[in-house]
Amino acid sequence: MCPADEPAARSGAKAGSESSAPSWWTGGGADLKTRLHAWWEGYRLPGAAKRAKPVAGQPAPKTAAVRPAAPGATPAKPAPPADFWGPERILVAQLIWGDGFTFPGGGEFAAELAASLIVDKRSTVMDVGCGLGGGTRTIVQRYGAAAHGFDLSPELAKAGDGLSAKEGLDMRAPIAALDVANPDWKARFYDAALLRNVVSLVTDKSGFLRHVGDSLKPGGRLLLLDWALSEDETRGSAFAGFIEGEPRPPILGTVAQLTFLVESLGYTVRRTEDFTKDFRPVVLEGWRRIDTIVAKGMLNPAEGRALMNEATLWARRIAAIDAGELRVARIEALKKA
């Protein structure tokens, strides 16, 4: 999940600039720590600009046309792809979620997920959407299994594989970039598959889940944890803000629709649930480290901007969850023999 050295808003704001944060956050020049505390506690700082309310039927403002470079001028350097993870963002994500992690939960959460897959020292696990592979390495260390991590971001995969090598786990917990259209997975090789925040980013969900099934042994276990739509078809401003703020806009279905898709592809669904109520506190726990993260001298200006951008990203997600417009699906299934 993520952007040019730090995620820029789709409004055309410059990457890493203060304007990429929501207007309620800018706080009239307040320091980083004060603004983050305001976000955490849910109050508006004095002098912070209020959000303008959209007028019904009013078209969205058009973005300015890009002018061609003048003859002989040096062309502007192209912006990095939207899912790029720069070193500042990788650092900040680990300060929030823990060493080796770029997503909520940390090692204990990863271990709990693996436990539901009944993983042991005889198992080989596919961990898709692993980020830096902190969870992948936890599975190896906790259960003695082999675990192969895969992530959509080449930058995260490269950094994560380096961390596995540093811990002497490059053979037991390798991390690789994933080509969702043509994944390089052996047929009937894995005992279990853990899919975290990947299916929502894949256009051909059926094709991708077939690839996963082909790589599982008969009776292999699948656990899918991902964003989902609420059953209520009404979508408001919170959901629109979530979609607009995502570096890779997800393509979502409801928990029921995801369950039906998994069943239709030859899996036996053992458990399906709306996991949102359990996931929300996992997210907020990471942000309780705000005091440590913004301690004096801990972050340079670029890292501070990355932190603000990361908090903006998660503020949008939590707002959509609290509005009841964004859910988290958890589906456990078995591949049929």
At residue 2 the predicted structure's pLDDT band, cuts being 50, 70 and 90, is: very low
Q: Which residues of 242-254 are buried (b: 16+ CB within 10 A; e: fewer)?
A: bbebbbbebebbb
For residue 70, is it within any domain?
no
The phi-psi region of residue 12 (left if phi > 0; otherwise alpha if psi is between -120 and 50; otherwise beta) is: left
Nearby residues of 240 by Cβ (< 8 Å), 6 or more positions away: none
Domain of residue 230: give its range: 1-51+79-337
Q: Please check the confidence at residue 126 and state whether its pLDDT lies above 70.
A: yes
- Cβ-contact 230, 326 below 8 angstroms: yes
> Which range (59-73, 244-258, 316-330) has the least confidence?
59-73
Residues facing 176 on adjacent strands: 150
For residue 302, is it within any domain?
yes
Element containing residue 72 per DSSP (H, E): none
- Mean pLDDT, residues 167-173 taken together: 96
Distances (CA, A) of 13 to 21, 170, 176: 9, 39, 32
Q: Quick one: pLDDT at residue 41? A: 55
For residue 71, is it within any domain?
no
For residue 60, is it within any domain?
no
Q: Quick one: pLDDT at residue 9? A: 33
Q: Quick one: pLDDT at residue 18? A: 35
Q: Please check the confidence at residue 271 and state whether its pLDDT lies above 80.
A: yes
Nearby residues of 19 by Cβ (< 8 Å), 6 or more positions away: 9, 11, 13
For residue 218, is it within any domain?
yes
At residue 233 the predicted structure's pLDDT band, cuts being 50, 70 and 90, is: confident
> Which range (186-200, 239-253, 282-296) has the least confidence?
282-296
- Cβ-contact 262, 269 below 8 angstroms: yes
Which spans in the chain are helix H? 32-41, 87-97, 106-116, 134-143, 154-166, 205-215, 237-245, 255-264, 276-287, 290-293, 301-322
Q: Quick one: pLDDT at residue 64? A: 33
Which of 69 and 275 is assigned the larger pLDDT?
A: 275
Q: Please check the confidence at residue 244 and state whether its pLDDT lies above 60.
A: yes
Choose the most confident range, by mean pLDDT, from 23-27, 45-49, 56-60, 274-278. Answer: 274-278
- Mean pLDDT, residues 150-159 taken together: 96
The CB-side HSE value for 303 (13 A sphere, CA atoms) comes to: 17
Picking from 87, 110, 90, 106, the residue whose alpha carbon sits closest to that of residue 98 is 106
For residue 178, is it within any domain?
yes
- Cβ-contact 256, 10 below 8 angstroms: no
For residue 59, is it within any domain?
no
> Which range (109-123, 149-163, 255-269, 297-311) has the least confidence?
297-311
At residue 34 the predicted structure's pLDDT band, cuts being 50, 70 and 90, is: low
Rounded Cα–Cα distance for residues 248 and 225 (Å): 17
Q: Quick one: pLDDT at residue 29? A: 44
Residue 93 sits in a domain whose CATH number is 3.40.50.150
Q: How many domains does the chain have?
A: 1
- Mean pLDDT, residues 229-239 taken together: 91
At residue 245 the predicted structure's pLDDT band, cuts being 50, 70 and 90, is: very high
Q: Which residues of 148-157 are buried (b: 16+ CB within 10 A; e: fewer)?
A: bbbbbbebbb
pLDDT tens figures, 65-117: 333 334 444 444 444 445 579 999 999 999 999 999 999 999 999 999 999 99
Q: Quick one: pLDDT at residue 36? A: 58
For residue 32, is it within any domain?
yes
pTM for the structure as a whole: 0.78
At residue 38 the predicted structure's pLDDT band, cuts being 50, 70 and 90, is: low
Q: Is 1 helix (H, G, I), strand (E, B) or coil?
A: coil
Q: Quick one: pLDDT at residue 287? A: 83
- Mean pLDDT, residues 35-52 taken together: 50
Q: Quick one: pLDDT at residue 319? A: 94
The phi-psi region of residue 51 (left if phi > 0; otherwise alpha if psi is between -120 and 50; otherwise beta) is: beta
- Cβ-contact 309, 20 below 8 angstroms: yes
Q: Quick one: pLDDT at residue 39? A: 53
